[in-house]
Structures are given as C-alpha cells and as structure tokens.
Chain A
Amino acid sequence: MSDTLLEVKNLRKHFPIKGGIIGKQVGAVKAVDGVSFLIKKGETLGLVGESGCGKSTTGRLLMRLLEPTEGQIYFEDQEITNLSRKEMKSLRREMQMIFQDPFASLNPRHTVERILSEPLIVQGMGRAEDRKQKVREMLEVVGLSSYHAKRYPHQFSGGQRQRIGIARALMTRPKLIVADEPVSALDVSIQSQVLNLLQELQKEFDLTYLFIAHDLGVVRHISDRVGVMYLGHLVELTESERLYEQPLHPYTKALLSAVPIADPKAARNEQEILTGDIPSPSNPPKGCPFHTRCPKAMDICQSQSPDFQEVEPAHYVACHLYHDGKLHV
C-alpha cells in the first residue's frame, strides 16, 4: 500500500447564486476552484489562508459533507467521490471532523455521555455497556474525568468543550481527522493546551490531520507540510519549515510579513503591506487570482492563470515568476 491516505484531484465547488423572482442561477461563488493535494499517512497537513478563501469548503468536500462540482477524492487509494450515502456511512468511522465553535457543535440538551456515544450508535458499534466504558476512557484520554460524563456542555469552559469535541471525533478510532479552526475561538493559554493534546493524540492513535486555521503561527507549530489558499486556489504547498523560511509565492510572502510578532524588536521592522481588499469569489479576477494585489504582477498575470507546479522537489507554487524553480524575471 502507498503511504498516501487521502488525495484530491482538481477539486471544485461552485455554489450557485440565485436571483430574480424565479430564482434562476445568476452566478456562482467559486469557493474551491481546482485544488489538488495529497495527505500522507500520519502527517499533519496545514491549510492556511484568509477568510473566505475556501479552507472549510475544502475540508467539507473531502469529508463528503458537500458534493464537489468537479474533481475526484481518493481515500486509501479508493475513489470515494461517487460513493452512495450508504457506502459512505461505514467510511465515516475512518474520517471525523473537529469544529471551530465547540459550543455550537455540541447539542446543549444532551449529556456528554450521550454526545460521545452517538458516533458509536450511528456506526452500530459496541453494546451499551461497552459504549459507556469507551466514553469514560476517552474522557480520560482528552484530559477530562469520567465523572464529567453526566454533565451538559454549558457546564464546561471553552477549552473543556473543545476537548469534548475532540473526544467525540476520536470515539470511532478514525484514521483521518479534519480539524477546522479547532483553536481559533480559544484563549492563548487554553489554545496551547489543546494544541499539545492534539499532538499527543496523534502519536498515541496514529492519526493523520488536515489542520485548517488562519493563524500562521499555530499552523507552523502543528504541521509537517502547509498549503496556502487564496480565492479558492492552492497557491503554494511544501514542507512547513521551507514554507516559513523560504516562501516563494508573493501572496505567501505578504501573508507572512503581515503577521504581528510577539517580539517588540522583531516586530518594528518595516513590512511589506498588501493594499486593497480580497476580491469576491463570485467575481474572481481573470488570470492569476492574486494579480490585483500582487506587487510582482506582470502582463501575463492578467490573462493567464499560472499552473500549480513543482518548482523544486516537493515544493509546489502557482505563479508565473517561477519556472523550473528559477525566477523568470
């Protein structure tokens, strides 16, 4: 077997925009517009980019929670793009999701016991007694106590609720976890607890993560490789160290220089600030999606969209500046 757990090819999701009194389609939000990448077994692939660039949509597509407009998804070398609902059901235990807002994603009227048992019941896994036992074990694993099983979500703090969300995702012993902004709503001190927990669990349970976040520091900390998205496109993808030390795409460079750094000496350096706003994904620029804000834009960028290509080993960039790993200008 190959060491690839999941692969997506040319994935697209266009949400229709309906208008007029008869509600016919007048346009489309190109939320994800031709994205290809793979996730290796046991790695953490980080996905960063600014609000609305399509990170969550990508995550939901590969979980098959949304139907792609185009493209293929492979899980353990098997194409799952067209699996029926029923066929997907058994696959669900292999892939689980953790969400940003732990409160909104936990049913307030159910006890923690019930919340954590649900994925097992859906999958028809275990007898009632075994399930109880598993819930208690899992609570300990994520740093809560078995007596918490009888409580309701509102009786927990934000960090504890996120632990419950993580416990729920782990109940079916999945191989892949898509974590969509799992620490964005948490205070820094709680955030570092949850990040450490996710890393410990990865070792213990041999997990593979797709880790979605807009915080570049958090993503660097947790990821082996990182992909950068802009307006529905992947613009750069490589090993985490390389991306942060030697970013190639002009957008990645601008993004990294815009991050405020918690070090007054370093922070006072002049940074290159991008001007203008992010264009709307319902009316993306022609050519390179970044050309309206790119400090390096050339004529070709306005008409031709650059291919996502390997410009040096294991380093993918979509930009006309790079051709066979060399600066084109």
Chain B
Amino acid sequence: MEVKNLTTSFFTDDGIIPAVDHVSFHINKGEILGVVGESGCGKSVTSLSIMGLVPNPPGKIISGEILLNGEDLTKLPEKRMRQIRGNDVAMIFQEPMTSLNPVYTIGNQLVEAIRLHQKMDKKQARNRAIEIMKHVGLPRAEELIDDYPHQLSGGMRQRVMIAMAMVCEPKLLIADEPTTALDVTIQAQILRLMKKLNENDQTAIMLITHDLGVVAEVCERVVVMYAGKIVEEGDVESIYEHPKHPYTIGLIKSVPDVHMKIDKLYSIPGNVPKPGSIKQGCAFAARCEFATNRCFTETPPLLDMGHGKSVRCFLHETVEDVSYSV
C-alpha cells in the first residue's frame, strides 16, 4: 500500500485543522510499520483516512492518493470501500468494546463475519470460529464463544478483535493503539500474537502507538509524526540508534528506561502544538534547540537521506550524515 501526499482536514468553528498534512509513506507486503508520535499528531486520522472512515462532516480528505494494489481508495464509491474493508484491510482499535456489538455473543459476531467471507453453514462457521479463537490464544474457546463482550477482560476482547480481523485474512491490518489500554503482561501476549500473525500469514501490519518501546519490539520500519506531518522515517535500528530529527532525538531521550537510572530526564521544552496552529516555518521550531531564524519562516521539506530514510529538518540539508547519539 502506498499513501501519497495525503491531506485530511477538519472544518471546525476554530477554523480548518489539517490533522494530516501532506503525508506520504508506504507499507511493503508482509512488513510491520510503526507510526509513532504524541497525542493529536494525526496518527488515528491517517488510519481512518485509509479505511475511508473519516467522519464527514467535519472531516474530509482534501488531497492525495491511497493506493492499494493499484486502486486509489480515496476515489472509490462507498460500496467498493466496504468490500475492501471486509477483505483487504482490517482495523483494530484501542478500545475493542466500541467495535464489538454488546448485544450479540462473541460467537454470533464471529460466525457472521466468517459467513460474509466464506460459503459455510452455521455449524461449520462455528467450528471455524472456535478454531480461530484458539489460534489467537483465547482460553476455553468452546465456552467463551457463547459469552457477551462485557463478560471478557480487556485483553480477551482485544484478542476477539484480532480474531475478527483474521477471519477475512486481510493483506493489511491497521492496529491503532491496540495495547494502550492493557497491562504489560497482557500487552506482551497481544504483541507476540500480532508478530506471529505477521510471520505465519504474511499479513502486513501498520501499528500505531505512542509507546516507543512497543515499536522497538515489533516493527521493522518507523514513521515519526509531529503536528500532522511526517518528520522522520527509516528502519527501526537507525531511528533508535541514530535519530536525525531533533524531535525524534528528544522523544527517545525523554523515555525513562527500566534498565538504567539517570539523574535527570531529558525533556523537550514547551508543548505539542495543535495541527495547523503553526502557520509558517518548522512546526517544531519553538521547541527546538537547533532552530535558526530560517526555521521560523520557511517550512523544511522532507529530505531523502537514501537507504529508505528521510528527515524533515534543515540541519540535514547540507551535511550528508549528521546524526546525534542519544
């Protein structure tokens, strides 16, 4: 899948908010891409745009293309989009309760999803559902299948959501903060499950999170977003070991480490700006220790650094390989 120059804006009383601002990236077949950034930077709106689920009004895709196997999703009628959502792309959300129907049993919902995709009678579909539930590590699948969503714990619900997504054997799974609401021990189970899914079924995964640890653990490539824009992209190891964008550097240094104690944490001064509140210059300029006058007037382009890496910062315009160790 390839996203080209995507801009999605919200038309609100406070003006037009470009929540996603000329964003371009791609996901290769069978890879896990991490999308990181702090609250409000446009991660969820990016995924909703891909799914064709941006609430309209107030939101709208203003420009750009989302190419999946040569089809531009932004141009498709809703009917075709629905087919894509059921077959090619599936999404799991942070709070699974909002996407499971509380009045139907887990079994009802799984069986319905299965029968939408495969010609099976109810009995066969039920057996398939139990099989998938076991596959995602749900205990006592035969009993659990007749439970309602509220009878399950958060981690179990998230596994049901993954089971639902697996039913349609998607080529791309978009997971928006799938473990944020979960405890670390349950999170570790879910992350392992997603990795297994990726390895066994070659499902490409776009994993959205603000947790840099989660990304380091499961992703191959990372996209870092700030105020609606991509500010850095590259493979996981280069981003964590040689981050180039001052924001990425600050972000990595701000995370307290379980394995090492330091006296004082690094902290980026100031606050995350609202998308669109910065009209000119680099969106990070007010918080950046390297900012020059130019950063406040000119918007830095996303510079291609080669080897699949890119960074949006004037510092990297001239020197080929400036990087800072963390």
Chain A residues near B (Cβ < 8 Å): 50-51, 157-160, 187-193, 195-196, 199, 214-218, 220-221, 240-241, 244, 254-256, 258-268, 271, 273-278
Contact = CB atoms under 8 A, between A and B. Distances in A.
Contact of A221 (B216, B217, B265): B265
Nearest to A222: B256
Interface residues of B, number: 47
B186 A277 contact: yes
Contacts of B216: 260-264, 267
Interface of B: 38-39, 137, 139, 153, 155-156, 183-189, 191-192, 210-217, 236-237, 240-241, 250-252, 254-259, 261-262, 264-269, 271-272
The majority secondary structure among interface residues of chain A is helix
Contact of A192 (B156, B258, B267, B272): B267
A260 B272 contact: no
A159 B271 contact: yes
Contact of A261 (B183, B258, B261): B258
B183 A188 contact: no
A265 B139 CA distance: 32
Given A187-B272, A262-B216, A195 B256 contact: yes
Contacts of B212: 188, 262
A261 B153 contact: no
Contacts of B267: 189, 192-193, 196
A318 to B, nearest CB: 18
Nearest to A277: B153
Contacts of B254: 188-189, 191-192
B155 A277 contact: yes
Contacts of A278: 153, 183, 185
A33 to B, nearest CB: 19
Given A187-B210, A277-B156, 4 more contacts: A189-B272, A217-B256, A255-B184, A261-B216
B96 to A, nearest CB: 14
Contact of A217 (B214, B258, B269): B258
Contacts of A215: 256
A262 B185 contact: no
A193 B139 CA distance: 42
Nearest to A276: B139
A263 B217 CA distance: 8
A218 B256 contact: yes
B237 A265 contact: yes
B183 A244 contact: no
Nearest to B287: A189
Contacts of A258: 184-185, 187-188
Given A196-B265, A277-B186, A261 B217 contact: yes
A38 B268 CA distance: 35
Which of B184, B265, B268: most chain A Cβ within 10 A? B184
A278 B212 CA distance: 25
Nearest to A185: B39
B184 A188 contact: no
Contacts of B210: 187-188
Contact of B259 (A51, A160, A190, A261): A261
Contact of B261 (A214, A240, A263, A275): A240
A140 to B, nearest CB: 17
Contacts of A259: 184, 213, 258
B38 A273 contact: no
A50 B181 CA distance: 11
B137 to A, nearest CB: 8
